[in-house]
Every structure is written in C-alpha cells, then in structure tokens.
Amino acid sequence: MKVCPICKSSIKKIFRVKVLKRYTASLNECVCCKFAFFYKPNWLKEAYKNPINIEDTGIIQRNIRNLKIVISFLRIVFHKKAIILDFAGGYGILVRLLRDFGFLAYWQDKFTPNLFSRGFEFKGKKADLVTSFEVLEHVEDPLKLIKQMLKISPVVLLSTELLPDIAPSPRKYWYYGFEHGQHISFYREKTFHNLARQLQISYVKLSNGYHLFSKKSKRNIMLLLAFKFYKIIYYLHKINSSSLTQKDHNNIKNLKNK
C-alpha cells in the first residue's frame, strides 16, 4: 500500500501528468500532512544527466539573494567565526561568495561537481548553521534528509516554494518543473509543521520560499527579524566587511607547493 513518506498516512492522486514529455506518472497528495510527491519516480537517471538543469537561468540571481539572507543571519544571531555548511551546495557559488565576504563557509554535495569553492569541502562533523537552498523538492525522503542536516547543526535554513493548498493544474504552476523532471516533492506549510512535530523541533515560515527548522526556538524571533531586514543588514555589513579571498588563494597556493 502506498503511504506518505513523511507521516505514513494514506495518499490520493491529484492528477496524472507527463514528465520529460514521455513518462506518465501520478502526482500524489497525503490526506494528512498535504505533502505532494511522485511515488518512486523512474525518470531520475535521465533527469540528472546534467545535475543543474538547463532551465535554471536564475541560479546566479538566487545565490546573490541567498548570500544577503545568510549574511544577515550570521551578523544578527551567530558569532563571527561561525561555521556554515551549504548542504547540497551545487557548484559552490554560495560558499565562494560567503568566503569572499569573510565567513567560514564550506561545501558539500554528493551529486554536483564543486566548481567555485574547491579546497573548502566540508570535512567536519558539526556546523553552526546549515543552509540547503532549492534541495527538498529534489528528494524522495525529506524526513531522512532533514534529520541528517540536524545532526550537523541545530539550525537549518532552507528554501523551496510552497505548493498552494489547491494544487494548480500542470500548466499553471512553474515550480512543478515537469519539463526537466527534477522536482519530485512539493510542500505545504502543514507539511513542514508535521515534519517539525515528528522531529520535536520548531518550524518557522520565513516566506513562501524560505523556511527555518531549529532546535533552539529562543533564536527564532531574532532569525525572523534578520530575514525581514536582510537587505539593510547586508548593506551595513558590506560597508565594513573583510574578505577571505586573498587568504584562501594563499592557503591553496601553499598547499599546492608542498
């Protein structure tokens, strides 16, 4: 019997659709937590011939926005030497940007090559903050993944667009991404609240696209304020910021010369 991978409740079909123009599949919905997902998608090998799909023209713009948000979090809530792990960090763009602004950011991704932050792969066990942007919509078992991130840090900042309560038809919601086939899981606010209860942590909806899971709920108000005013806080940091760009260059150069 097919059940929801998050809360193990029964599921119902929302609609059938063609993915990658040739795989017919049902998008299902949990009757309890409202998680929407494809059950055992059989097209992922084809969908991930290129880990970053060709339609993702917003990758640079998105990383610049994420940079500003993370800097705001770090300045308001965390200490200067905080360790940041960008979990499933793609090509390493965000890690390089954060280091250029003086922060100790590290990269991890099992499926995408590290192009921009080589030498700064995460080798530790703990971090002060884990970020995971545009990842959850790609995974079949989000509960397992968030547990994994929470073992590394008590605070997880992530992004994924919330699905409207009434699921739009396939052609009326760009975030489905049926053309590239990489998006297989879709969430509502109720989904994340259910997930947080299971893990005995707090969940804060920062916006329709940004979300916070935390074991330290006392920080949530400050983190919410940091998100609300991230543009101002980023600007103030930019005026008086230091960079690790040259230091990173020197360290890597010295390692190569050993």
Residue 164 domain flag: yes
Sheet of strand 129-133: strand arrangement: 104-108, 83-87, 129-133, 155-159, 210-214, 202-205
Q: What is the per-residue pLDDT for 66?
A: 98
**E-only strand ranges, the chain:** 11-19, 23-30, 36-38, 83-87, 104-108, 129-133, 155-159, 185-186, 202-205, 210-214
Residue 169 domain flag: yes
pLDDT at 82 over 90: yes
In the chain, the percentage of residues whose pLDDT exceeds 70 is 100
Q: What is the per-residue pLDDT for 1?
A: 81
Top-confidence residue, 100 or 1: 100
Q: What is the per-residue pLDDT for 54?
A: 86
Is 24 within 8 Å of 16 (Cβ atoms)? yes
pTM higher than 0.85: yes
Q: What is the per-residue pLDDT for 258?
A: 66
Q: Look-up: residue for tokens 């922060």?
A: 103
Over residues 46-78, the pLDDT tens digits come to 999 988 888 899 999 999 999 999 999 999 999
Is 15 within 8 Å of 3 (Cβ atoms)? no
Residue 87 domain flag: yes
Residue 224 domain boundaries: 58-177+188-257
Query: How many whole angstroms separate alpha carbon 135 and alpha carbon 139?
Result: 7
Over residues 139-156, the pLDDT tens digits come to 999 999 999 999 999 999
pLDDT at 190 over 80: yes
Residue 28 domain flag: no
Q: Classify 181 in phi/psi space as left (phi over 0), alpha (psi -120 to 50) or beta.
A: left
Mean pLDDT of 226-253: 93
Mean pLDDT of 204-221: 94
Q: What is the CATH number of the domain that holds 224?
A: 3.40.50
The residue type found at 49 is K
pLDDT at 255 over 80: no
Residue 6 domain flag: no
Residue 22 domain flag: no
Residue 139 domain flag: yes
Residue 40 domain flag: no
Query: In this structure, what token pair is assigned to residue 72?
Result: 């705001």
Mind giving me the DSSP string for 133-184?
ES-GGG-S-HHHHHHHHHHH-SEEEEE-PBPPSSPPPGGG-GGG-TTT----
**Residue 256: band (very low, low, confident or very high) from pLDDT cuts 50, 70, 90:** confident
Number of domains making up the chain = 1
